[in-house]
Copies of this chain bind each other. A is one copy, B any other.
Amino acid sequence: MIHDQANYEREGEDVREPLLSEKGQETVDVREDSPLPDDLTREELTLPNPSEPETARHYTRLSQMNWAIDAGPYPLGSCTMKYNPKFTEDVAADPNAAIHPDRSARSAQGNLELQYRLQEVLAEIGGMDAVTLQPPAGAAGELTGILVAKAYHEHHGNDRSEVVIPASAHGTNFATAATAGYDVVELPSGEDGRVDLEALEAAVGDDTAALMLTNPNTVGLFERDITEIAEVVHDAGGLLYYDGANLNALLGRGRPGDMGFDVMHYNVHKTFATPHGGGGPGAGPVGVVDELAPFLPTPRVREAAEGSGYERFEPAHTIGKVHGFAGNWLVSIKAYAYVARLGDEGLADAAAKAVLNANYLAERIDLDVPFGPFHHEFAATAGDRDAADVAKRMLDFGVHPPTTKWPEMVPEAMLTEPTEIEGQSSLDDLAEAFNLAYADTDEALDAAPNRTAAGRIDQVGAARNPRLSWQALDGE
């Protein structure tokens, strides 16, 4: 397939759709009409003031210059770009759900009920005992989980200082552990791409607060030794944290709770198909086993005394809060609607088709895939080609390329996760894009992309000379 992306360009001026500021700004004398004394107010405010038709056109054009899952395949590995069912938007737009978080529990029974229901289904799916919906994204879920683990250890008089993380883990795992005040112990990958038990044993000890793991891992391999891994960590008094980013591969076939994980986050903008929105909002609910439940953020929601609905409560040893209010509520609603739509069968089928798709696509491409058997994603290697260049060239063929150059254990990695939503023909399109790009000349790769709104962008220059606002462009 060939895709020309829409473009609106002003040739002489070397800009595409002009900035709102370039279309016209207005300066308001703030003090003129102000009910406040002058010393409390600013003098003036200068902002764009487009009319509604101009606003509509501006953002319509911008949107047309943006790739999306509704335009075509978007197989970013580790990102689980699923189709976002439209009806979930309508459910979330219910004005009755649009209430203030400080409502009394009595007057917010509807929201509490939905929160409770979502907590329950998530606990079931993850094999966990208790769930909080508060964390507003996966990384926030990680922080919540690690803080819960920390509180648990401290509560038991255990001062542990390290979190063990496989080298192939997502950057948020490392950053989270650091944010929580832990030292990071990086675990080198085993030769088969999985955790090396010996290396784990060497890394784990009295200082180990937790091991953070995702399973299948970031190249799609199931950690077959998960029972042994759990034993090693638990024996040392550590806890097992499950990074839920890859849960889509396990739905209905394995539950972190059953594998020995003590705490996990769910990445609902991946597994449960809530829209990524160009980088959020997401939601990262956290599930824990019973022993950790008293440490979860406050408030949680539970059934109240019989027949009296739902109530909020503060867990006995709560870590406090990880979001000012109840997290990304609209996202919670969409996740609930998605899970309800699929049910047991649909969830299991989602996993099956996600794994089928990854395997089929890997079969169809000319690039090597060093590790296996993989599940919902695989890391192909671009070999002696630059993975980033191959990716740029793929853009010309009507698909979005995979995640590139990560994880590092695969050289020139192209981490690919088609998810269950692609059919055979779009997987064939993807494979063709891979193969055409991979086989193309160096010159073609250098010159790519050619059919996108913008040509290859100078990212080094952007960082060297940061211009981060239209104010910074002024006078250019």
Contact = CB atoms under 8 A, between A and B. Distances in A.
Contact of A70 (B56, B71, B86): B56
Given A60-B71, A64-B71, A425-B23, A85 B4 contact: no
A1 interface: yes
A261 to B, nearest CB: 31
B9 A2 contact: yes
Interface residues of A, number: 33
B8 A6 contact: no
A96 interface: no
A357 to B, nearest CB: 12
Q: Is the interface of A mostly helix, strand, loop or mixed?
A: mixed
A421 interface: yes
A52 B420 CA distance: 13
A57 B71 contact: yes
Contacts of A11: 2
A278 interface: no
Contact of A8 (B3, B51, B57, B61): B3
Copies of this chain, count? 2
Given A57-B71, A86-B56, A4 B7 contact: yes
A4 B6 contact: yes
A5 interface: yes
Given A61-B71, A70-B57, A71-B64, A85 B6 contact: no
A166 interface: no
A326 B457 CA distance: 56
Given A61-B71, A71-B57, A72-B57, A51 B423 contact: yes
A37 interface: no
A421 B53 contact: yes
A48 to B, nearest CB: 13
A7 B4 CA distance: 5
Interface string A399-420: 0000000000000000000000
Nearest to A68: B60
Interface of A: 1-11, 23, 51-54, 56-57, 60-61, 64, 68, 70-72, 83, 85-86, 398, 421, 423, 425, 453
- Ranked nearest first, the 3 interchain pairs of A and B with the lowest CB-CB distance are A53-B83, A6-B6, A4-B7
